[in-house]
């Protein structure tokens, strides 16, 4: 792919059409995010506005020449609120206007402040990072070892074991929740980091994926190395791992995403606030906030942003790996 980009830009007329189609699709893909971020900066008054006009930018970020009649009215009202509030701070006597307490007027980051304070999200982020990194690295090591064995070794029951492993992917996770929970409780792991991490260190999908990749490596290479007195573990470390960087990066990213975004499992296996992960926190916050869209969008935004940042960081590796691995059945 990267070689294509480096080619000189050809002024091919058909490319205009391609760009047009891709841009239209991009707008559809990205608009929900834009809408989410914009809404997260809006006050409830702005959000609960109905009517035909679509106001994309929040009041406090919009250049004034874009304001319609209604917007101007709302902004003026907001300004008045601000002044009233400032006055009420200055003299407590005027703290009630017309029998009602003067409320603090909305500020741009209020939704974020409210959402962030509603749950110990800081701890949730730490827990999520911990589980995601541990699971990603751990499952990659374990899966590549198993895939290596499946691809290169001959041993009894190999096919049966492989089939058994594939079979585990076909039952919905919801059906296994309670039995898993009982096993965890027998191990005294309920409500510990172990429960969050250990069961996910084995991924049948990763083993399958890596095996497919290892199968493409020439078998002679392995046999020649064995004859040269190379041990199997050496071959794994010196040949297999360095060669399998692309699929490992792909799997790593998906494993990280999967863990970051997992919800039902951590919800069931942990109780304490100090063990909660980000998705559980988000869902708790969602049931608390009900239909308060502003803080909800703010919370959604800050649970998504770290992932997007990380994706950009890992993207280069990822693109290369995708280009190289290819899907050969």
Interface positions, 222-251, toward another protein (CB under 8 A) = 232, 245
Q: Could you tell me the two tokens for 304? A: 């998504």
Shortest distance, position 64 Cβ to another protein, whole Å: 22
Helix (H) / strand (E) element for 97: namely: strand 96-97
Stretch that binds another protein, among 58-66, 68-76, 84-92, 168-176 (CB under 8 A): 168-176
| Cβ atoms 250, 322 nearer than 8 A | yes
The least CB distance from residue 65 to another protein, in Å, is 21
Q: Which of residues 38-77 bind another protein (CB under 8 A)?
A: 39, 44-45, 47-54
According to CB under 8 A, which one of 65, 91, 93, 100 is a site residue for another protein?
100
Site for another protein, residues 115 to 134, rule: CB under 8 A? 118, 122-123, 126-127, 129-130, 133-134
Find out whether 305 and 311 touch, Cβ atoms under 8 Å: no
Nearer to another protein, 86 or 324 (CB): 324
- One symbol per residue from 246 to 275: x for binding another protein (CB under 8 A), - otherwise; what is it? -----------x--xx-xx--xx--xxxx-
Nearest CA among 82, 84, 81, 74 for reference residue 47? 74
Q: Which stretch binds another protein (CB under 8 A): 60-68, 87-95, 184-192, 213-221?
A: 184-192
Answer yes or no whether residue 327 interacts with another protein by CB under 8 A: yes
Sequence-distant (≥ 6) Cβ neighbours of residue 247 within 8 angstroms: 209, 210, 213, 321, 325
**Coil, strand, or helix at residue 96?**
strand
Binding residue count for another protein, defined by CB under 8 A:
131
CA distance 42 to 36: 10
- Applying CB under 8 A, among 115, 184, 196, 251 the residue interacting with another protein is 184
If one asks whether residue 215 binds another protein (CB under 8 A), the answer comes out as no
Are residues 189 and 270 in contact, defined by beta-carbon separation less than 8 angstroms? no
Put residue 52 in one of left, alpha, beta given phi > 0 → left and psi -120 to 50 → alpha. alpha
* Residue (89 or 133) nearer to another protein, CB: 133
Least distance to another protein from the beta carbon of 296, Å? Answer: 5
Query: Which part of the chain contacts another protein (CB under 8 A), choosing from 64-72, 83-91, 213-221, 318-326?
Result: 318-326
- Give the HSE-up count for residue 113: Cα atoms under 13 Å, Cβ half-sphere: 7
Between strands 100-101 and 96-97, the pairing is antiparallel
Out of 171, 218, 220, 228, name the contact with another protein by CB under 8 A: 171
Q: Two tokens at 248?
A: 């490992």
**Whole-number minimum distance, CB 181 to another protein, in Å?**
5
């Amino acid at each position: 792919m990267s070689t294509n980009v480096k080619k000189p830009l050809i002024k091919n007329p058909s490319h205009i059409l391609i760009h047009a189609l891709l841009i239209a699709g991009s707008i559809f893909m990205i608009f929900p995010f834009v809408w989410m971020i914009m809404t997260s900066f809006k006050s409830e008054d702005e959000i609960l506005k109905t009517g035909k006009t679509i106001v994309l930018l929040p009041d406090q970020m919009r250049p004034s020449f874009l304001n319609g009649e209604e917007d101007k009215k709302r902004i003026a009202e907001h300004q008045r609120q601000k002044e009233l509030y400032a006055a009420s701070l200055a003299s407590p006597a005027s703290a009630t206007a017309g029998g009602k307490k003067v409320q603090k007027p909305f500020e741009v980051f209020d939704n974020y402040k409210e959402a962030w304070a509603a749950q110990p999200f800081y701890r949730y982020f730490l827990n999520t990072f911990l589980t995601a990194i541990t699971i990603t690295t751990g499952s990659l090591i374990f899966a590549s070892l198993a895939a290596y064995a499946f691809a290169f070794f001959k041993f009894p029951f190999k096919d049966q074991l492989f089939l058994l492993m594939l079979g585990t992917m076909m039952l919905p996770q919801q059906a296994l929740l309670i039995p898993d929970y009982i096993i965890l409780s027998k191990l005294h792991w309920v409500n510990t980091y172990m429960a969050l991490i250990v069961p996910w260190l084995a991924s049948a999908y990763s083993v399958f994926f890596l095996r497919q990749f290892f199968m493409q490596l020439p078998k002679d290479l392995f046999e020649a190395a064995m004859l040269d007195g190379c041990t199997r573990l050496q071959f794994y470390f010196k040949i297999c791992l360095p060669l399998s960087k692309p699929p490992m990066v792909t799997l790593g990213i998906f494993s990280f995403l999967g863990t970051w975004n997992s919800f039902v499992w951590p919800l069931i296996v942990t109780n304490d606030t100090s063990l909660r992960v980000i998705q559980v926190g988000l869902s708790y916050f969602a049931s608390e906030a009900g239909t308060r869209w502003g803080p909800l969008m703010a919370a959604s935004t800050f649970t998504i942003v770290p992932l997007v940042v990380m994706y950009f960081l890992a993207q280069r590796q990822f693109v290369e790996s995708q280009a190289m691995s290819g899907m050969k059945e």
